[in-house]
Structure 1
Amino acid sequence: MRFLVWRLKHISDNNFLLIVASVIGLTAGLAAVTLKTTVHYVQHLLQQNLDLTKINYLYIVYPAVGIILTIMVRQFIVKDTPGHGITRILRAISKTSSRIRKRYMMSNMLKSAITVGFGGSVGLEAPIVVTGSAIGSNFGQFFHLDYKKRTLLIGCGAAGAISAIFNSPIAGVIFAIEVILTEVKISKFIPILIASVSGQLVSIILLGEDVLFSFKIVDSFSANDTPYYILLGIVSGLASLYFIRVTYFTEDLIHKIQQPYGRAAIGGLALALIIFVFPPIYGEGYESILSLLKGNEVKFFSGSFFYHMAEQQWVIVSVLFAIILAKPFATALTIGSGGSGGVFAPSLFMGGVTGFLFTRVVQIILPSSSISASNFTLVGMCGVMSGVLHAPLTAIFLIAEITGGYMLFVPLMIVSAISFTTISYFEKHSIYTKNLIEKGDLIQYDRDRIVLSLIDLKKIIEKDLLTIHPDATLGELVDLVKKSKRNIFPVVNEKNELEGIVTLDDIREMMFESDKRDKLIIKTLMSKPPAFVSPQEKMQSVMNKFELTQAWNLPVIDNGKYLGFVSKSRIFNAYRKKLIRQTKE
């Protein structure tokens, strides 16, 4: 506390943010390096005795073992819930004021190291982004920073993580802004830039050139290939759509198995069979993509049934197409059955295979064409990533940076833009935001709905309304009127069930007639409320009910039991307070 007081006196908020951003970037970078090194060490231990020229039956064992170990770690050590990591970050920003629990600074690293190390068909990027974001959030909480600054530091952690793991500082910044912080102001770029550069410095010092994925461009861009790139953009958009739809379908299917270890066994076995038939799907798949980029199809098919047929054109085309079809199933099975990882690397892998297959098909149809397989593989990675993540700028700059130059910048922009446009026609939201938006847990670009979502209905329920039994007399109600400060009287039976309401206007004319006080029964005077509200209901739905009924007060019912009333005026007051607070922050 003394340090916080000293800081407020001697360091301005902006300067302090820059200092904290650099520390977060360094910490996220260190976490990224640690995770990458650990995973590759585990993979080396498991694969050092494999004969790449033969079929390896250990591919059936490794992924399932990894998923089961991940579940055990989740249940007995880190004690968190499964799911897509970046989705969890977006939900925290939207619903919990950018507060992320401390355990997420380590839990995703540990789980993904096991899952990916044992061959789970997912990537390390999402877990390390969650780790970096959790680091940023907890720094903000420790220094008692407000919601906007905590959110900014989450972006700093994400940028530092991506920058370190790919050695790509610009892509790190753009990813943080395009995917994590959708409403960041230009003035807030500087902390994110500093965090991203700090993460990259850690990666350069500790890893040098040994980053997650890198490739130097060998063929220059030819403007004559533009029609092919346009067509690849459409193909990439459709491949992205296939990836998202299959991923959601498969995850929903595997989640129908309620028992965690049963789900892990069935999902792990299905995943193992896919990897056994198509070994390139094992793990992140970056080594397989590098084999395609270098024109080494034989190495790409190592350890599979097709190894000795890898030079036959029809085998290459058929197997590559089958891998594209199988990859989303493998990714969804890994995550859905209990593994930990993200769709960042799978989208890059699928894009690379799509781009390489595209060149093969073009060469078969037009033997005289001389399009570059490596260029189209790289641009395909950009296209599918742009579509799956709905992040065209991140995809462009990531591929540009990991290839060491901007020679392909024009085709990257063409394919990324067309792929994004294509998938946007079918899917308005990214794979990270689709479920959140459908459930109402994430609201983008709508300030009114954002402020409404911050209001907790349970906190504004009014319980000071005096209730009356349906069999009571008008006289008893008149006695309540003398005590009450409200003009609504809920009619509640002995089971605490709301049967109706009586308003002061309903009895105003007869309440002074003494001969009716003992004769009239409340249930003959009451009326049904125009609508009911649940305490779990979204505020947008509540406001819609107020608008449709034109009421100023609505009863709150939970499992048939009366809780109280919610008033439009109380909601307006809460809305105004939230709006003022957001404006100040």
Structure 2
Amino acid sequence: MKHESPLVKFLVWRIKHVSNRNFILILAGVTGLIAGSAAVTLKESVHFIQHQLTGNFNKEYENYFYIGFPLIGILLTVILSRYIIKEKIGHGITQILYDISKNGSIIKRSKMFSRMITSAITVGFGGSVGLEGPIVTTGSAIGSNVGRFVHLNAKKRTLLIGCGAAGAISAIFNSPVAGVIFSMEVILADVTIGMFIPLLIASVSGTLVSITLLGDDVLFSFKLVDSFKASDTPYYILLGMISGLVSVYFTRTTYKVESLIKKAKNYMGRGLIGGVLLGVIIFFFPPIYGEGYNTIKSLLAGNQMNILDTSLFFSEISNIWMVFIFMISVILVKPIASALTIGSGGSGGIFAPSLFLGGVTGYLFASMLNVITWGNVNVSTSNFTLVGMCGVMSGVLHAPLTAIFLIAEITSGYELFVPLMLVSAISFSTSSFFEKHSLYTKHLIESGDLIQYDKDRQVLSLIDLNKIIEKDLLKIHPNATLGELVDLVRISKRNIFPVVNEHQELLGVVTLDDIRNIMFDAEKQRDTIVKTYMHSPPAYISSHENMQSVMSKFELSGAWNLPVIDNGKYVGFLSKSRIFNTYRKKLIHHNQE
């Protein structure tokens, strides 16, 4: 005992004196504090870089700097991620969901700091993405590794991942309720009452760090100036529909552009192409530079002309319709810019781009409505800007409650709660009609790497198919005699015999029932060959298939045993009874955790 490490001594003391429930609450608070500190550090780092680069811009030459800075940021990020950190950069929250689903909620330790560094460079140099995704990844990694440090099981590590995400979001927006709901809607697919209290503690801890270190200097905040009018409800309904369609455009464009840019296999070449294209876009549309919150603040203040200040061609334009055309163009190219930033190797998230896109959409909708009705309608552009942010965020992230409470909290009131609920619900419904999954989960769900809200499928996904393939079945050559097969029957414990040729290709199967009536006939044993009685199995399985596909084949075929074939070669058999037995063990273990 004298050689025990301090950690082991602490864990032994903890087991004796601190209950599991209270220990989790303490860890939730610690995780929230660390995640909140990380969020503040990242936010301050990015704004410091941006101030150093753009603080003394000469407007006459500003656009030309916009071309170069994003390219430099992306290339620096690629070099750092590929050759120093040696970590693949992409949609961080997607990777977190994968780690929860497939890696037992174990997240690499390097992610506790890698995304902070890379996103600070990318966004600081003008990459058209946000900080929220990277800081959620950072907070989640902190939670996972805190859990690993004190030897928690996978289920409790998952809870701490959610705590880290909640603490990060609450700190960066000073929005504790939104932090909790984001964690429940996006990170944790199966939330129980027991999880709720730790999430609250972590979120409050993150907010306290933010208030203490930043005060009111949070990422984005706004004080409402206009009240909600019930007579505007029809326009909010229409905005909800438009926000949903914009969300679909954002999602599909992002996937398309990312897939195109990733066709460039050379990482530096991809970063160069993406950086140059992004610089060109920002050259013509400067509001797309960086996160875009300054643009939203200008629109909320009613200073729509400010977004043209640094525009190359529109700086002298005062015609409101030209401003509208410029805004429509910004809406169309923003998803392309965000996809280029992430797809070419930059580090960032889609949280801020969705808010930016929603804000511009809401402001444009309200302004055009006021203009085309010639004064007969006068809706609040600031209210519609905020509600538009909620709508597009709800549609893109498929997180309607997060969107509602985030906007409610950053406006320091619930005056807009009714239109926020209405637009969020309509946008989410519209978006879900065309895109069933969010940007975070679409790829994972389609590949079978993530299963949400289905306990049966979640447990099935835990089964490793390769570990339950049965390879003890005795093989027989198709030209072997019935007598040779009978000899195998005598020593085999199974009643299925795969018929395999010299190339290890499965030609069929023979069962004991197929030969039962003739197996003791001496003449037939001598003269009959095996392929006479073999038959094809009703379906084939690949060892690379997911368990949902495997169970579908068993259900459709009605078989209890199916052969496993890889690259045309016979591997073994899979039995439904063994799957059920393994499923039962996994379910018991899952519930015990």
TM-score w.r.t. length of structure 1: 0.97
1:276 counterpart residue number: 283
1:569 counterpart residue number: 577
SS in 1 for 2:498: strand
1:551 counterpart residue number: 559
2:588 counterpart residue number: 580
1:314 counterpart residue number: 321
2:71 counterpart residue number: 64
1:170 counterpart residue number: 177
Q: Does 1:386 align with 2:391?
A: no
Q: Does 1:405 align with 2:413?
A: yes
Give the residue type in structure 1 aligned to 2:322. Answer: V
1:237 CA drift (Å) = 1.5
1:482 counterpart residue number: 490
SS in 2 for 1:499: strand
CA distance in 1: counterparts of 2:552 and 2:411, whole angstroms: 51
Q: Does 1:186 align with 2:193?
A: yes
Q: Does 1:44 align with 2:51?
A: yes
CA distance in 1: counterparts of 2:166 and 2:313, whole angstroms: 40
Q: Does 1:343 align with 2:356?
A: no
Q: Alignment partner for residue 150 of structure 2, among 133, 143, 153? A: 143
Deviates more, 1:364-373 or 1:315-324: 364-373
Q: Does 1:262 align with 2:269?
A: yes
Q: Does 1:491 align with 2:499?
A: yes
2:166 counterpart residue number: 159
CA distance in 2: counterparts of 1:555 and 1:414, whole angstroms: 52
1:193 CA drift (Å) = 0.5
Q: Is the 8 A contact 1:309 1:315 kept in 2?
A: no
CA distance in 2: counterparts of 1:31 and 1:355, whole angstroms: 32
CA distance in 2: counterparts of 1:219 and 1:516, whole angstroms: 94
1:307 CA drift (Å) = 4.9
SS in 2 for 1:346: helix
CA distance in 2: counterparts of 1:453 and 1:104, whole angstroms: 25
Q: Is the 8 A contact 1:53 1:302 kept in 2?
A: no
1:458 CA drift (Å) = 0.3
CA distance in 2: counterparts of 1:306 and 1:155, whole angstroms: 46
1:207 counterpart residue number: 214
CA distance in 1: counterparts of 2:421 and 2:166, whole angstroms: 22
1:262 CA drift (Å) = 2.1
Q: What's the CA shift string for 1:2-27, capped at 9, x where partnerless?
A: 32222222111110010000000011
1:503 counterpart residue number: 511
1:380 CA drift (Å) = 1.2
Give the residue type in structure 2 aligned to 1:182. Answer: A
Deviates more, 1:331-340 or 1:427-436: 427-436
Q: Does 1:536 align with 2:535?
A: no
Q: Alignment partner for residue 362 of structure 2, among 343, 355, 375? A: 355
1:581 CA drift (Å) = 1.7
The 1:515/1:425 distance shift into structure 2, 3 A limit, reads closer
Give the residue type in structure 1 aligned to 2:50. Answer: Q
1:49 CA drift (Å) = 3.5
CA distance in 2: counterparts of 1:233 and 1:566, whole angstroms: 49
Deviates more, 1:370-379 or 1:161-170: 370-379
Q: Is the 8 A contact 1:297 1:310 kept in 2?
A: no
CA distance in 1: counterparts of 2:46 and 2:225, whole angstroms: 29
2:479 counterpart residue number: 471
1:370 counterpart residue number: 378
CA distance in 2: counterparts of 1:387 and 1:515, whole angstroms: 73
2:427 counterpart residue number: 419
Q: Is the 8 A contact 1:121 1:330 kept in 2?
A: yes
Deviates more, 1:301-310 or 1:120-129: 301-310
1:278 CA drift (Å) = 0.4
Q: Is the 8 A contact 1:173 1:192 kept in 2?
A: yes
Q: Alignment partner for residue 6 of structure 1, among 13, 17, 20? A: 13
Q: Is the 8 A contact 2:165 2:183 kept in 1?
A: yes
2:4 counterpart residue number: none
1:391 CA drift (Å) = 1.2
Q: What's the CA shift string for 1:294-338, capped at 9, x where partnerless?
A: 222333222212453353212211101110111111111111111
Give the residue type in structure 2 aligned to 1:200. Answer: T
CA distance in 2: counterparts of 1:143 and 1:128, whole angstroms: 23
Q: What's the CA shift string for 1:410-462, capped at 9, x where partnerless?
A: 22222222222222222222221222222222222222222211111101011
Q: How many residues align?
A: 585
Q: Alignment partner for residue 228 of structure 1, among 220, 224, 235? A: 235
CA distance in 1: counterparts of 2:518 and 2:230, whole angstroms: 88
CA distance in 2: counterparts of 1:160 and 1:554, whole angstroms: 48
Q: Is the 8 A contact 1:535 1:556 kept in 2?
A: yes
Q: Does 1:81 align with 2:88?
A: yes
1:276 CA drift (Å) = 0.6
1:88 CA drift (Å) = 1.2
1:396 counterpart residue number: 404
1:570 CA drift (Å) = 0.3
Q: Is the 8 A contact 2:29 2:202 kept in 1?
A: yes
Q: What's the CA shift string for 1:535-569, capped at 9, x where partnerless?
A: 01111111111122221111111112221111010
Q: What's the CA shift string for 1:204-244, capped at 9, x where partnerless?
A: 11111111111212222233322322222222112112111
Q: What's the CA shift string for 1:267-311, capped at 9, x where partnerless?
A: 222111111100000010011111111222333222212453353
The 1:308/1:546 distance shift into structure 2, 3 A limit, reads closer
Q: Alignment partner for residue 247 of structure 1, among 254, 261, 275? A: 254
SS in 2 for 1:562: strand
1:291 counterpart residue number: 298
Q: Alignment partner for residue 439 of structure 2, among 410, 431, 434? A: 431
TM-score w.r.t. length of structure 2: 0.95
Give the residue type in structure 1 aligned to 2:261. Answer: I
Gaps of 5+ in 2: 1-7
1:527 counterpart residue number: 535
CA distance in 2: counterparts of 1:220 and 1:62, whole angstroms: 41
CA distance in 1: counterparts of 2:97 and 2:112, whole angstroms: 16
CA distance in 2: counterparts of 1:52 and 1:186, whole angstroms: 54
CA distance in 1: counterparts of 2:455 and 2:216, whole angstroms: 44
Q: Percent identity?
A: 67
SS in 1 for 2:470: coil
1:55 CA drift (Å) = 4.7
1:145 CA drift (Å) = 1.9
Deviates more, 1:469-478 or 1:15-24: 469-478
CA distance in 2: counterparts of 1:425 and 1:495, whole angstroms: 49
CA distance in 1: counterparts of 2:28 and 2:42, whole angstroms: 21
Q: Is the 8 A contact 1:51 1:303 kept in 2?
A: no
The 1:310/1:223 distance shift into structure 2, 3 A limit, reads farther
CA distance in 2: counterparts of 1:231 and 1:509, whole angstroms: 74
Q: Is the 8 A contact 2:305 2:323 kept in 1?
A: no
2:311 counterpart residue number: 304
Q: Is the 8 A contact 2:63 2:312 kept in 1?
A: no
CA distance in 1: counterparts of 2:553 and 2:427, whole angstroms: 40
1:16 counterpart residue number: 23
Q: Does 1:446 align with 2:460?
A: no
CA distance in 1: counterparts of 2:421 and 2:313, whole angstroms: 35
RMSD of aligned alpha carbons:
1.6
1:523 CA drift (Å) = 2.7
